Amino acid sequence: MAEIQIYIDGKWVPKSEAKVSVFDHGLLYGDGVFEGIRAYNGQIFRLSQHLDRLWKSAAKIELKIPVAQNQLANLVKESIRRNNFSDAYIRLLVSRGVGDLGLDPNKCPVPNIIIISDKLALYPANFYENGLESAIVSVRRNITEALDPAIKSMNYLNMILAKIEALKKGVPEAIMLNAQGHVAECSGDNVFYVKDQAVITPPVSAGVLEGVTRAAVMEIVKTKTSFKLREALFKPEELLKADEVFFTGTAAEVIPVTRIDHKPIGSGKPGPATRTLINLFKDLIRKETSPSV
């Protein structure tokens, strides 16, 4: 089997030859931004939305991406063509680039673009059938004044610490609160709950990344279902009293949550609203990534 081809430092190289300088500020300080992107049926799902978010993240840290957006889109598409992938997960990174051991980003004249395509199954199939367990963790989501959660940065320690705590609790995903004690998001997913024919999710102001899958599911709720959609602040107690809870993310897609802090949610099984949204999201993927699109 041929090695995966990775784009790095302006060229395509086999995985075994893909190396980054120890002086790259992405490595030294997590100084950079990234996107996780999915390909289905040989087509990239919502690439323009991912690239728009990448550019917004880069602008917030005053990082100038060294290629035009359409050029980067073509490189992302090339990553699955070169590797002969039909379905894939793509990690697109833009680091500050090579500099010195100081913090000054002006010492990094050329940002580095890295594109990795590979297979990914974030959660096993039985989680989608039976639901996953989660836990509310003590690690709080970064406050906007410190590091804006809307920036999808390469510095992921906040989320990693939450993930570590969740794993110690014996569950695969963490639910993080913001500084005010409201539910924000997970270590890698956005949070939704269903109550009394309404689908509720935290607003971006709660300390939430504007997830591409989150936006797609919100569109689906508004246009394809009879549920009311609300963006609202809420405390963890409301999750525990919900009829259903589900998470969304590029890698996770739409996944039901059946236990939080070892307590069952609703019936303790994936609910009808979540199952409907899973199917409608799959329909959207098929529609937007069919070969005719």
Active-site annotation, residues? 152
Whether residue 97 contacts residue 63, with contact meaning beta carbons closer than 8 Å, is answered with no
Find the angle CA(140)-CA(183)-CA(92) to the nearest 5 degrees.
Answer: 70
SS3 at position 178: coil
Listed in sequence order, the residues at least 6 apart from 257 whose beta carbon sits closer than 8 Å to its beta carbon are: 131, 132, 133, 134, 173, 245, 246, 247, 265
SS3 at position 254: strand
Whether residue 131 contacts residue 258, with contact meaning beta carbons closer than 8 Å, is answered with yes
Q: How far is CA 75 from CA 34, 66, 70, 131, 158, in A?
A: 15, 13, 9, 36, 30
| Main-chain dihedrals φ then ψ at residue 205, nearest 5 degrees | -65, -15
Find, among 196, 29, 1, the residue nearest to 98 by Cα: 29
Name the DSSP class of 65.
Answer: -
